[in-house]
A and B are shown apart, each in its own frame.
Chain A
């Protein structure tokens, strides 16, 4: 595992490394890997790890609170929140998957 992700050394070091290569932690467990693959199904519109490109009309998911993401997904699914497409996509995910997605995106910055 890359030490600079977990070290308490100055952030400039991590930033320096990030400038070289995209810093991504390795999935340590099958569960973690599966969650990241699940979250990647959102990336086409919402950006890799929930970070959309600057100036696009897609909502940022990275760093939103877990409760907020769950609430919005359930509102899309029930039809309480009107949408063009998200009501159709939200219906494809189970409660457990929505919880896993929300926890994942909440943990991203």
Chain B
């Protein structure tokens, strides 16, 4: 594997203009990368954290390429961003590390326009219920355990309203949880209404969800593959959280970074994308974020370091799971999802 951008594209690296305005998820960056990228290219990276796909879409619409060069986007939101004309496709296959992209992503037609890509794949994970095994003795196999009255005020969920409604859709057997019919949506709303007594809060931050699990204020949350490890750390090693892949199905995501249409520093953006594909940064990101990534060589590196079981526990060696997940996306009737959520929790 080549190391350093200058080794990959010496001529281009010398002419890059910055700063690079990076607007993406906090989990997509390793701070050491910024310094390394600057040393190699002379381009500084301005990072601002993405908040949510819909909100970010609005920001990119308003700010455009003069304010943002790269934007981080989830799964089926990527085609939405492309349809709205705020991102442009690029030739990912010309990147020298393209061969390192996992096959499941290479086959992903939903992110492709002809031979060009709308996004550079980054991470993926199923989102699964994590529960405190000391309080929930019988390992659940279905989402039904969430409605157990013994869990009153013991669940914390992420404050993503459309995803919560989609989860209710999964639980109530909706065919397409992110594109439910009126009847399915009504059933999902009713399920959430019945679940409300068990929910302590909808948290806007992952860290808060982990903290609440770690101090046993709550016993159940829905989190990505690394939830168990993070909860254990937050509890000082006291809590063993177990996960369940529910029989009704589970939601999951894959995400990536896109080039904003008309990006003022497009070349720097492409250089950054190649720079971050290096094994050391991907592996570092895996260890910090505890969820699988879309690249193969870091998995080999982890195995060589004796971390094969960690990689397995966090699904890194099981990319076939991606095809079983209900993928996060923009509901065509997102307003109805938001209303259903607001009505269910405020009744």
Chains A and B belong together in one complex: no
